């Protein structure tokens, strides 16, 4: 751990035992947001956090009612010439089932070697705690933070975040900031320091193809009418070419191409393609031509059939022309793609290619915006410098194939860039039995956050 600020590091060393006790106390609160029986525990965790924020020297700590588990807010705003950082994390945790697979009770944290075991140790209480401890250490040694910081800790992330969006909208003025730091992700395989640059969005639709009111006899009617299942297959086959390119006109219009730097950052990720394929037990990996497997998995859009049904599904044979056929189709979206625009383009294209003789409709079932903060964004660069200074190596850059809906909310509601600076070990068993956090990661993450606030002083505003 090179180049640490000596005074802050000395303070952190002197307070390590007390910090671990505080971490454990937070982990002992069974704040499972999905289970109504734990509603009081969620409130307890929220109050605990508000107290911890105040004790750290942060101000205006508040347990804000939302209609769901409360949102905890606090801030420190005494750096008028410096940027303002919004920190997001969540204090709720996943349920603990199957409980018999835990080697120790999930809400009785234990330290085993370098690890602390408990539900929430990594996702996300450990990381929330690290943020508070970083502020506490800077304020205790220097009396002031180098930047303004606003903290938003949610209690409903593991069960849909239903009340976060409306709260962010209502509090938009108070939450004004220059960048959002979310610590709810992890390091790359091998516990290598990483920054998650992007998350894919999603557009989820259903295609319904309807012919007659009831199934028809295929001997009597076959040859005279359109078969909805055949028609649906024809539509689906038309959506994507053999080169893996999606054929919907305009689909790629808002995809920001990868830069040379992006492509080399992806190529730098330790990834064994043969092992990946062997683990999946597949004869080959396929996808859009011109891109590597990792590029296709994280930074290119996709179109997949998620479900397909229609006609006779039973054993043996039944000679019918099905009355109707259906498919669930979703697209993972990247960079500037907009789910609603993508849906409209899909609907128009399906209308265009749908065979005659049946009625075809396309319905939007769900959507989520993609999120990307580029590699060369000043906040990404600052986070990279902070990781390098504290973990002693240049971070890797991950482009996550899935989605974290809250991340897109900060982008779309507050209009802020989001840096995903998470410290979870990749095999931390988040959401599974025996969740753990590496205590080394935890301690170093506190120093990284402290360092990051100093690195962000010059963030263009």
By CB under 5 A, residue 262 contacts Zn ion: no
Q: Which is nearer to Zn ion, 46 or 266 (CB)?
A: 46
- Identified binder of Zn ion from the candidate list 41, 75, 154, 184, rule CB under 5 A: 184
d(CA 367, CA 384): 31
Q: Which is nearer to Zn ion, 431 or 461 (CB)?
A: 431
Query: Which residue from 5, 75, 92, 123 is in contact with Zn ion, where contact means CB under 5 A?
Result: 123
Least distance to Zn ion, CB of residue 74, Å: 20
The span of 12-20, 183-191, 202-210, 364-372 binding Zn ion (CB under 5 A) equals: 183-191
Shortest reach from residue 158's CB to Zn ion, in Å: 7
Nearest approach, Cβ of 402 to Zn ion (angstroms)? Answer: 12
Hey, what are 48's tokens? 């605990």
Of 218, 215, 48, 75, give the one whose Cα is nearest residue 150: 75
Shorter beta-carbon distance to Zn ion: residue 123 or 435: 123
- Taking the complex as a whole, how short is the minimal distance between the CB of residue 407 and Zn ion, in angstroms? 11
CB of 84 to Zn ion, least distance (A): 24
14-43 residues near Zn ion, rule: CB under 5 A: none
Quick one: which segment of 180-188, 222-230, 352-360, 371-379 binds Zn ion (CB under 5 A)? 180-188
Instruction: Give the number of residues in contact with Zn ion, rule: CB under 5 A.
Output: 3
Report the residue number, 94 or 367, with the smaller CB distance to Zn ion.
94
Of 93 and 207, which CB lies nearer to Zn ion in the complex structure?
93
Q: Considering only 91-99, 169-177, 181-189, 224-232, which stretch makes contact with Zn ion by CB under 5 A?
A: 181-189
Q: How far is the CB of 442 from Zn ion (least distance, A)?
A: 15
Contact stretch for Zn ion (CB under 5 A) within 122-130, 302-310, 311-319, 451-459: 122-130
Q: Which range touches Zn ion (CB under 5 A), out of 176-184, 260-268, 392-400, 433-441?
A: 176-184
Using CB under 5 A as the criterion, what x/- string covers residues 124-143 for binding Zn ion?
x-------------------
> Given the complex with Zn ion, which of 311 and 405 has the nearer CB atom?
405
Instruction: Give the contacts of 6 (CB within 8 A, at least 6 positions apart).
Output: none
| Rounded-to-integer distance, Cα 19 and Cα 36, Å | 30
Rounded distance, CA 420 to CA 180, Å? Answer: 8
Q: Choose the binding region for Zn ion from 45-53, 166-174, 178-186, 260-268 (rule: CB under 5 A).
A: 178-186
Minimum CB distance to Zn ion smaller for 123 or for 178: 123
Cβ 180 to Zn ion shortest distance, Å: 15
Question: CB 96 → Zn ion: shortest distance, Å?
Answer: 15
Whole-number Å distance between alpha carbons of 293 and 300: 10
User: Segment near Zn ion (CB under 5 A), from 184-192, 290-298, 346-354, 447-455?
Assistant: 184-192
Per the CB < 8 A criterion, the answer to whether 150 and 177 are in contact is yes
Q: Cα–Cα distance between 399 and 217 in angstroms, integer?
A: 51
Which C-beta is closer to Zn ion: that of 184 or that of 400?
184
Report, in Å, the least distance between residue 94 CB and Zn ion. 8
Query: Which residues of the shown chain bind Zn ion in the complex (CB under 5 A)?
Result: 123-124, 184
């Amino acid at each position: 751990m090179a180049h640490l600020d000596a005074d802050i590091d000395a303070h952190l060393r002197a307070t390590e035992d007390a910090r671990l006790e505080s971490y454990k106390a937070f982990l002992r609160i069974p704040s499972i947001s999905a289970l109504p029986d734990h509603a009081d525990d969620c409130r307890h965790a929220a109050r605990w956090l508000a107290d911890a924020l105040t004790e750290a020297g942060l101000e205006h700590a508040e347990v804000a009612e939302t209609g769901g588990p409360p949102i905890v807010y606090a801030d420190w705003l005494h750096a008028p010439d410096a940027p303002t950082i919004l920190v997001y994390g969540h204090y709720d945790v996943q349920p603990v089932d199957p409980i018999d697979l835990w080697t120790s009770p999930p809400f009785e944290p234990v330290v085993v070697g370098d690890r602390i075991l408990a539900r929430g140790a990594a996702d996300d209480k450990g990381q929330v705690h690290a943020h508070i401890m970083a502020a506490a250490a800077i304020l205790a040694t220097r009396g002031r933070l180098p930047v303004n910081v606003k903290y938003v800790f949610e209690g409903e992330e593991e069960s849909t975040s239903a009340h976060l969006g409306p709260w962010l909208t209502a509090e938009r003025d108070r939450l004004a900031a220059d960048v959002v730091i979310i610590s709810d992700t992890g390091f790359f395989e091998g516990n290598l320091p990483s920054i998650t640059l992007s998350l894919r969005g999603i557009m989820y639709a259903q295609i319904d193809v309807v012919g007659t009111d009831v199934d028809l006899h295929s001997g009597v009617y076959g040859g005279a009418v359109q078969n909805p299942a055949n028609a649906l297959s024809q539509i689906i086959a038309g959506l994507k070419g053999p080169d893996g390119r999606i054929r919907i006109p305009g689909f790629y219009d808002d995809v920001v191409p990868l830069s040379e730097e992006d492509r080399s950052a992806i190529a730098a990720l330790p990834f064994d393609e043969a092992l990946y394929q062997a683990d999946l037990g597949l004869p080959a990996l396929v996808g859009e031509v011109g891109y590597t497997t990792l590029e296709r998995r994280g930074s290119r859009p996709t179109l997949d059939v998620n479900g397909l049904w229609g006609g006779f599904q039973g054993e043996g044979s039944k000679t019918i022309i099905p009355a109707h056929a259906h498919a669930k189709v979703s697209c993972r979206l990247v960079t500037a793609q907009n789910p609603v625009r993508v849906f409209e383009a899909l609907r128009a294209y399906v209308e265009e290619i749908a065979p005659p003789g049946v009625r075809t409709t396309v319905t939007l079932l769900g959507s989520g915006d993609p999120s990307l903060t580029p590699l060369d964004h000043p906040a990404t660069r600052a986070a990279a410098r902070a990781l390098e200074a504290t973990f002693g190596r240049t971070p890797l850059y991950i482009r996550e194939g899935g989605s974290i809906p809250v991340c897109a909310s900060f982008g779309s509601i507050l209009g802020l860039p989001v840096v995903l600076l998470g410290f979870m070990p990749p095999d931390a068993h988040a959401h599974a039995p025996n969740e753990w956090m590496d205590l080394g990661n935890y301690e170093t993450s506190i120093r990284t956050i402290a360092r990051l606030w100093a690195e962000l002083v010059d963030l263009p505003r």
